[in-house]
Amino acid sequence: MACPHTPLAARLAPPKLSQAVHREECTQCFDNQDMAQGIDVCLHCFNGGCVDEQDGQGAEGGRHHARIHFEKTGHQLALNIRRVRKPRSPTEDSEPPLKRLAISEEREEDQYDFVRVVRCWGCGGKLLPDAMKDPYVSAIVNGIAGSMSSARQSEVKAWEEEITACEHTLTLQQNPPSAIEASGLAHCGKCELTENLWLCLTCGSLGCGRQQFGGVGGHGHGMDHYSETKHPVSVKLGTITPEGNADIFCYECGDSRLDPDLALHLANFGINVATQTKTQKTLTELQIEQNLHFDFSLTDENGRALQPLFGKGLTGLANLGNSCYLASTVQALFALEPFQNRYLPTAELHSMLCPVKDPAQCLDCQLHKLADGLLSGRYSKPASHPTPLPPSSELNTGPDDSMPTPTFQAGLKPTMFKALVGASHPEFSTMRQQDASEFLTYLLQLMRRDAQRKSLNPSMEPPHIFEFSTEQRLQCTNCGGVRYRLDENELISVNVPVRETGEKTEEGKIIYEPVTLEECLDTLTGEEEVDYRCPRCKTNVKAVTKTTFASFPDVLVINPKKFQLVNWVPQKLEVPLVVPIDNTLVMDKYLGKGQQDGEDILPEDEAEGGSSLPEFNAAAMIQLEGMGFPTVRCQKALLATGNSDADAAMQWLFEHMEDPDIDDPIDVASGVPSDGAEASPEQIEMLSDMGFTAPQARKALRETAGDMERAVEWLFSHPDDDGEEAPADSGAASTGKKLPGSDSLPAKYILKAFISHKGPSVHSGHYVAHIKEPEAGWVLFNDEKVVKADKESVENLGKLAYLYVFEKAL
């Protein structure tokens, strides 16, 4: 009997180029088209769903998201797609174009066979082998088969990085013509290096670049030349092609650029581009290769391969190119019990009840999907087609050549999650390497915003486990008056003192003295003398500030800052930080006391101009000044970024280094928002129309210097703040508002995880996570490779970690 629903195809249309076609993977779990049951692609909306055993295809674990999709939407027709790998033949990758970094679409048909058959859910999931004879059905099926999958669309869009010209390449002024030696015999003008050479397009000076991944040496003499001469544009020898492409870097912009007149500029130095051959990799190619092949040690102290692990909570995440910052952060989050309890038990129930039509666009759906993928153990198994290790991997150079190379997992691809989370962020939407701490903060902000939109209780959602408050106390040394301020936080950044030992490694790296975490916390909570205009004394005086904890979180995240500025570029330093790996971190002595009896509270700030500078975030000021920024620049950066976050202020500083008035005194009378400044009625009305109260709107605008866009961001990231201000003399304990976290003692913490980083900057290199699992002990999550970590690597990498995650001991 013919299916009565097949004629529905006449009212349907093939997918448009802009439409997402989820034909590779289920949108609500990680079952994919390579599994025996394949994936059902809805012919109505192109959602991808897995099928269960009752439907005759057998998804592992009884998943049935394709049937759930039908029950929720009424979409009857679907195309089941199953992909089978063909025997592989070796091929050589062609060189990517240098003007644009892009992934060219590979022909899947050359690598796989596809089995496609139409299914009708209106007929109970019945397969319809003859349905594709219908011309309307056939047109849709062909459209799905020929479309770029949603995963591929996200991948190509994120990798595609247009390199453009800048004012410095377009207006380049060159010195009189001169011939240089552009062959492999040329060397740096300040050392003997003959590779990684950069030619100054202004004067023809040859300088070596900075050291790069893959053994590419460099001493940074090209940058030194720029610092001395301010000649902005250089080209890397060995990357010049006859087409006029090359790796061009503008030191003034701090980024790769395009020179439309490169051939003409090179001719000034006797270089004919038509005769050039590309012999070296570009910066972007090196960065991609570095991240895909960057291996933390996968052997123990005796050279033996570390044991691959499989099972529940031991599932790896495949590297999408530069996504290790995301993978490490997500692994650390889902190792925490509140995240596991929130998302794993309800994964199937959520797929049935979620009102969002497109699961790929629902953050809750994608978090449930991640929990199921990472924690269920369903995907934690040796890869059928393991990715070979790079030739430089320690596992390929062990002392025993007969030792079998371990087989790792294929790893789950978090493509859908990354595309959703990064959609509204200019950096996280790209394939460039990112800062793991910034991503953690951003993800928690998205989760809070999502919870608020759904009217969920914020105290019941996972982000609340990170929340706590710091107490900032300021005392005038002239009149003795004091002032208190409470700031809500979700991680704490500590400056790490830098003390050189006077020794260097065999590779020439400086060796630094170890520093204890306790010393860093003591410095953070210690007293500091600052310049201050006292509202009572009516004059500039010295004040003593002190930052302590007003409450402690359930999960304490510590971000040690180990940077120094080199030409205003932060360079990471390998300062060993001694942390209690398997011992207890006691925080009791860092708890603030609040206002004490007999303390004289300072009045509100008053100035002749009717306004004054706000009280700057003391912890942020300490961090910024500790990096070498002048006080006035730190204050301006905090004013411009909401006076709450040192990282945001530092980013602002880097973007405004060349402002002509960057070092001018702050003009108090110019309208800088203060505690007494009023937002305009129009701004308050606009925020009120979005559902916020007037007190919330006023506080958000005050905290963000009147910037509407940042005020909205502030409101979403502070859902518990009702905007009501406590009296100036209230102290920490009597604000009338419950502080996030707890002030109960003892406050003891156990290290649960740490995220480590290799590379000169947090925006390059590679991240991995070490997590202490209940049964397996310390486990190393290095993308898709999940192995049992040896004691030595835990201790060594633990000293150089970038983020520490401590759980409060019960």
Known catalytic residues are 324, 766
Cα dist. 262→254, 269, 605 in Å? Answer: 19, 11, 58
How far apart CA 463 and CA 55 sit, in angstroms, is 38
The two three-digit tokens of residue 274, written as one number: 């038509």
Q: How many residues does the chain have?
A: 810
Q: Is 763 annotated as a binding residue?
A: no
For 557, phi then psi, to 5°, come to: -105, 125
How far apart CA 769 and CA 529 sit, in angstroms, is 38
| Residue among 495, 650, 640 nearest 568 (CA) | 650
How far apart CA 283 and CA 433 sit, in angstroms, is 13
| Residue among 754, 765, 730 nearest 802 (CA) | 754
Cα dist. 766→323, 457, 762 in Å? Answer: 9, 36, 8
Q: Is 188 annotated as a binding residue?
A: yes
Query: Which run of H or E residues covers position 539?
Result: strand 539-549
How far apart CA 601 and CA 483 sit, in angstroms, is 6
Cα dist. 448→463, 548, 581 in Å? Answer: 7, 25, 31
Q: CA torsion sign, 381 to 387 to 393 to 398?
A: positive
DSSP 621: H
How far apart CA 374 and CA 369 sit, in angstroms, is 9
Cα dist. 286→163, 164, 385 in Å? Answer: 16, 19, 26
Pairing of strands 515-516, 577-578: parallel
Place of tokens 């408050």: 469
The two three-digit tokens of residue 186, written as one number: 């040329």
For 288, phi then psi, to 5°, come to: -65, -45
How far apart CA 711 and CA 649 sit, in angstroms, is 16
For 277, phi then psi, to 5°, come to: -130, 135
Q: Is 365 annotated as a binding residue?
A: no
Pairing of strands 161-162, 100-101: antiparallel
DSSP 302: T
Radius of gyration of the chain (CA): 29
How far apart CA 714 and CA 693 sit, in angstroms, is 14
Q: Is 50 annotated as a binding residue?
A: no
